Chains A and B, each alone.
Chain A
Amino acid sequence: MNGKGLAPIWFGFLFLGVLVGYPLVLLFVQTLFPDALGGRWDRFLEPVARIFRTEGIMEMLINSLLWAAATTVLSWLAGIPAGWLLGRTNLRWKAMARILLLIPIMTPPYIAALSYVLIMQPGGFLTRLTGEEWPWLQAWFFSFWGVTFVMAAMSFGYVALAVEASLRSIPGRLEEAGAVCGASPATVVRTVTLPLLLPALFNSGLLVFLECLSNFGVPAVLGPRANMPLLPAEIYQLVTSWPVDLALATSLSSLLCLLALAVLWLGQRTLPRSLSGGRSSAARMRSLGAAGQAAAWAFLGLLFFLSAGLPYLAMIGSSLVDTWREGAPTWTLDHYRGLFAAGGRGLQALQTSLILAVSAATISMVCGGVIAYGLSRYPGWQASLLDGLAVLPRVMPKIVVVIGLILAWNAPWIGFNLYGTVGILLVAYVALYVSDALRYADTGLRQIPRRLEQAAESLGATGFRVLLDVIWPLLRPALFAAWMTTFIVCVRELVASVILLPPGHETTATFIFNQFEQGELATAMAMATVTIGVTTGILLAVSWWNRQRAV
């Protein structure tokens, strides 16, 4: 392999180095020398030593790992069958099913958790609708399992989408060959489909796992009742309660990073590096009978009901409440009117969020795609290093990454004013979520047979031409999924937005959060409803546009 071929890798180092590496190096230096940026080089390694003096650190670490693992398994259990139904059967109304699966990912996790609290708490919606208390259900919900359930409900869509995208690109003839050779359908799944699916399963599982390791919203809302000390919550508290202990928070985050890197490394060791499946032929769709269709839709319906239907009922219900008299609500539409009143901040926040999310998703898709191409085509230590670099911001609690971004872009040696403009949020979104886009593109690329490129090259096509005319069309579904998920997570992003937003600007998430802070539950829920509605609309439009062009 020559140096020229490594161009995507070098691009990746430049891009991720500035965006991710530079702030993280500053954070790391702070772990070693807490006052380094102030020009003092004493107290070497003091924060690291303090990790061991932090009470309950092992408990938190184990809790965090168990929780992340349980959520990942639950997401697999729900997401794999859903992805299979979409990718390998003639399920009716597939486009709708896909949107139904995406809706829960669009929900800000803390809103979903809050909606579930409104339903499940003693005297909540459940009690009021059924007329009785459900002590066993409540005891179950306000525990480890409830927190796991809510988090899995919010994230199994990642798995479903990845499984579907992957199944679509696994050549059906491989499975047919298995069947022709006399293997039973179960054997075909076990020996052919499943191994080919592994990269998708691993990558999407990794997304869910990492999201759990760094997620603060769901445990923050459910945690105090569920008695679950988790590492991200501890870190969040170190950073936001006085006296602020940034150095200890950073060293605890490094612990999370190490864990994540270990998981990533294990995955890379065990996964097939690339698959050459021959010409992609359309997979044969298993046809479902009437009963099969009904069962499939019952399954998807149940998933949708638990992950979106139920919390949305609570959310929309609360947004329509005027006051709670004696615990019983009176209804109004005023909160929606207030959002769109002339000069209202609601509209401005929506606009800012959408512009930022579309930009961040597009940049992440393009750059993530190029980097993933480099990773899958030129494996080696550079690629591993790059992969690790991309995934780091995803596993650290966001508040720590955000602190790193402030340190980096507000440093005395930065001569231009990026921090202090909305632009810093774009930088933050891309830094935080480019790894998602990269994962999707990577999954897709692993299944594009190398020999297609070789064929094009042997016919005299340049590397750029190969990328445009061979890779891009084949990678389209994966990149499309990458764009959609990045767009969604950016719209709902809260922590980075709250702290990085320059004075005078708002995004939808900070708007919701601020309303909630002021006790305006109904306005907050109204904004959440509008945001999710608009996001769904945009996704529908984009997927329609994508289908039009694909034909």
Chain B
Amino acid sequence: MRRFLPVAKLLLVLSSLLWTACEDSTEGGSLTVYSAGPRPLAEQICRDFEKSSGIQVRLFSATSGQIMAKLEAEKYRPRADVVILASQIAGEALAREGRLESLPAELQSEGNPAWNSESMVGTAAAAVGVAVRGEAVDRRADWWEWLRAGVEERMVMPSPSRSGTAGDFLLAWLQHDDGFLWEDFVQARRDGLDFAAANNQAITQLLTGSHHVLFAAVDYLIFNQIARGESLTLLYPEPGAVVVVRPGAIVAGSRNREAALQFLSWYLQPEAQNAVAEAHLLPALAGVEVSAVRKAAGPLLQWPYDPVLALDDQQAALRRFQYEIERTRVEQ
């Protein structure tokens, strides 16, 4: 028996440690927010909201995909009150299943009414463009030209089925140009277009110099790197950038509806929107100054798309892209 004493002691110590770890995370009276990245922004906004409202916020920050998985698993006993996603199409998928509360009309008119819908408000947005290493001397005109010529300079694109924004970008493009998109991409792939797992990996490949052009780059992540001193340029080819709105919504069955409404409304006030702008995202509120790096990238023309229609196409299109384009071998 003596031999087991150390093990028993260890177990005792560990269980008490675990107990204390469990103790401090009690529910009750607090607002639970599931938010897609960037994490520092989500943290700051929650902190500021806590300070101004006195309501305690419990933040779970992960990718939109992980949040969707968690929401799905908690379907029969929702834990989240507010959800902020990085893709409008993802939000649309939740809305369609009746998993979101409808929002009062006052809230729908706050921020940027064009980004709001019955159950979602646009809290911020990111635009999809082309990122180039160093100074881009040769500013090619449109998306098609980039797709054709960019591969000569080693071009990489985040896989649309792994990166939510690249997926939204592809679906938006599909709404404008159905027939030729596939041929164009097949050709680009044959010529050497590479795919990376997700946005960050694609950016790493750009930073370390293995690729020179990042096709379908999320602009705020690139601005983030530029602000840190990296030498990159972001371009918005013609006819414009696909603007991916980041919706905020209240999960159906939330027990803190009042606090959740207060939180969403807070998100659209100048203080929070300034934080959004500082994270290099597009703020929802007109009159909030965008970050200096974003301003320097020049004006942004929007290439509009309909997220409701996009949701219908999504699965078939992404699968087709995976099979016909990503899995085609590059001709050496």
Among A156-164, A217-225, A251-259, the one that faces the other chain is A217-225
B305 interfacial by beta-carbon distance below 8 Å = no
Contact B208 A123 (CB under 8 A): yes
B39 interfacial by beta-carbon distance below 8 Å = yes
Known A-B contacts A240-B68, A242-B68, A242-B89; A224 and B323 likewise in contact (beta carbons under 8 Å): no
Contact B27 A417 (CB under 8 A): yes
Interface string of A512-529 (1 = CB under 8 A from B): 001011110100000000
Which residues of chain B are near A460, meaning CB under 8 Å? none
Residue of A nearest to B92 (CB): A242
Report which of B7, B65, B161 forms a contact with A362, defined as CB distance below 8 A. B7
Residue of B nearest to A324 (CB): B207
Contact B203 A519 (CB under 8 A): yes
B109 interfacial by beta-carbon distance below 8 Å = no
A220→B97 CA distance, assembly (Å): 29
Known A-B contacts A410-B74, A423-B22, A518-B40; A224 and B90 likewise in contact (beta carbons under 8 Å): no
B332 interfacial by beta-carbon distance below 8 Å = yes
B161 CB, min distance to chain A CBs, angstroms: 6
Which residues of chain B are near A504, meaning CB under 8 Å? 25, 58-59
Which residues of chain B are near A420, meaning CB under 8 Å? 25, 27, 79
Contact A499 B207 (CB under 8 A): no
Residue of B nearest to A328 (CB): B209
A108→B28 CA distance, assembly (Å): 36
Which residues of chain A are near B211, meaning CB under 8 Å? 123
A355→B13 CA distance, assembly (Å): 10
Interface hub of B25, B37, B63, B89 (most chain A Cβ within 10 A): B25
B189 CB, min distance to chain A CBs, angstroms: 11
User: How many A residues have CB within 8 A of the partner chain?
Assistant: 69
Residue of A nearest to B315 (CB): A243
A314 CB, min distance to chain B CBs, angstroms: 10
Interface of A is mostly: helix
Interface string of A405-443 (1 = CB under 8 A from B): 011001110000100111100100000000000000000
Interface string of A388-417 (1 = CB under 8 A from B): 000000000001001100110011100001
B302 CB, min distance to chain A CBs, angstroms: 23
B205 interfacial by beta-carbon distance below 8 Å = yes
Interface string of B303-332 (1 = CB under 8 A from A): 000000001001100110011001101001
Contact A399 B69 (CB under 8 A): yes
User: How many B residues have CB within 8 A of the partner chain?
Assistant: 88
B175 interfacial by beta-carbon distance below 8 Å = no
A98 interfacial by beta-carbon distance below 8 Å = no
Contact A499 B18 (CB under 8 A): no
Known A-B contacts A241-B68, A362-B14, A518-B37; A225 and B208 likewise in contact (beta carbons under 8 Å): no
A124 interfacial by beta-carbon distance below 8 Å = yes
Which residues of chain B are near A118, meaning CB under 8 Å? 204, 208
Contact A220 B39 (CB under 8 A): no
Which residues of chain A are near B14, meaning CB under 8 Å? 355, 358-359, 362
With contacts A324-B230, A503-B32 known, what are 9 further pairs, Cβ within 8 A? A240-B65, A240-B66, A242-B94, A407-B73, A411-B77, A514-B37, A518-B200, A519-B221, A521-B207
Query: 20 A-B contacts, Cβ less than 8 Å apart?
Result: A37-B75, A117-B201, A118-B204, A122-B154, A221-B201, A242-B68, A242-B87, A243-B315, A323-B229, A324-B208, A355-B18, A358-B10, A362-B7, A403-B73, A406-B74, A410-B76, A412-B76, A502-B25, A505-B21, A505-B25
